[in-house]
Amino acid sequence: MTQPLLLVLDLTGTFVFGLNGALTAVRAARLDVVGVLTLGVITALGGGITRDVLIGAIPPAAFTDWRYLALALGGSAVAFVLSRRLDALGTPILVLDAVGLSVFAVIGAAKALEFGLGAAPAVLLGAVTAVGGGTIRDTLVRQVPTVLHSELYAIPALVAAGLTVAAVGAGVYGLPAALGAAAVCFVVRMIGVRFHLHAPGPPGAGQRAQEHERDDDERS
């Protein structure tokens, strides 16, 4: 199903998502090695497993190809052992995370279409593949999921999934189209990070946040 280069990128994204997931667990919660590895694996594989269950691809690919679980565990173990040193690699990890986000969105949408879903469900499942694992992870450590507040995270995934669906519908989907859609997602994500861009919030949300901060300062 997946061409060699896309498979390599998919496996790389799995490793990096495992790394990021475990590192988040180390930073956000005082967990032992089992907890850190578990959250790393959930981050790396949760979105793809959710997608496969929803489209009826049983058992999920994460359980039929040993490389996915191995790389997820490997990334998690690296984060656990070298968590203090990984802070210095924040930018490279962020870049690789954007690569994983991009590839997961494209592959997720393409797989949903292969199983006969329509355009809108395929776009949604592409995004779920990309952000689902991180959302589950954040929920487990009682944080607001990154996808709901971070710099343009879900929007690039939706764009990449939408481009993938459009390419399949036009009959031009292949490695160049897939890489092009992933590249658009990557660029949009990195622009959001570089310039701290966010999706629009409710009217007056910034002012209310400032008022809450002032109230907290007064009480303290």
* pLDDT tens readout for residues 180-192: 999 999 999 999 9
pLDDT digits (tens, 9 = 90+) for 138-169: 899 888 888 887 778 999 999 999 999 999 99
For residue 135, give the nearest of 26, 6, 49 by alpha carbon: 49
Instruction: Please spell the DSSP secondary structure of 124-144, one letter per residue.
Output: HHHHHHHHHHHHHHHHHTT--
Q: What is the C-alpha to C-alpha distance for residues 1 and 198, in angstroms, rounded to an integer?
A: 35
Residue 209 has pLDDT above 50, yes or no: no
131, two tokens: 């952000």
Indicate the pLDDT class of residue 197, thresholds 50, 70 and 90.
Answer: confident
Other residues' Cβ atoms within 10 Å of the Cβ of residue 59: 10
- Within 8 A by CB and 6+ apart from 152, the residues are 188, 189, 191, 192, 193, 197, 198, 199
User: What average pLDDT does the segment 117-132 reach?
Assistant: 96
User: What average pLDDT does the segment 72-86 reach?
Assistant: 87
pLDDT digits (tens, 9 = 90+) for 20-67: 888 877 877 778 899 999 999 999 999 999 999 999 999 999 999 999
Indicate the pLDDT class of residue 83, thresholds 50, 70 and 90.
Answer: confident
Q: What is the pLDDT of residue 50?
A: 97
Domain ranges of the chain: 4-219
Q: What is the pLDDT of residue 86?
A: 66
Within its chain, how far is the Cα of 167 from the centroid? 22
Angle between helices 90-114 and 33-55 (to 10 degrees): 30
Q: Helix %, strand %, coil % for the chain, to 5?
A: 80, 0, 20
171, two tokens: 């009959």
Cβ-contact 63, 120 below 8 angstroms: no
User: What pTM was computed for the model?
Assistant: 0.86
Indicate the pLDDT class of residue 2, thresholds 50, 70 and 90.
Answer: low
pLDDT digits (tens, 9 = 90+) for 94-119: 887 898 899 999 999 999 999 999 99
Cβ-contact 93, 26 below 8 angstroms: no
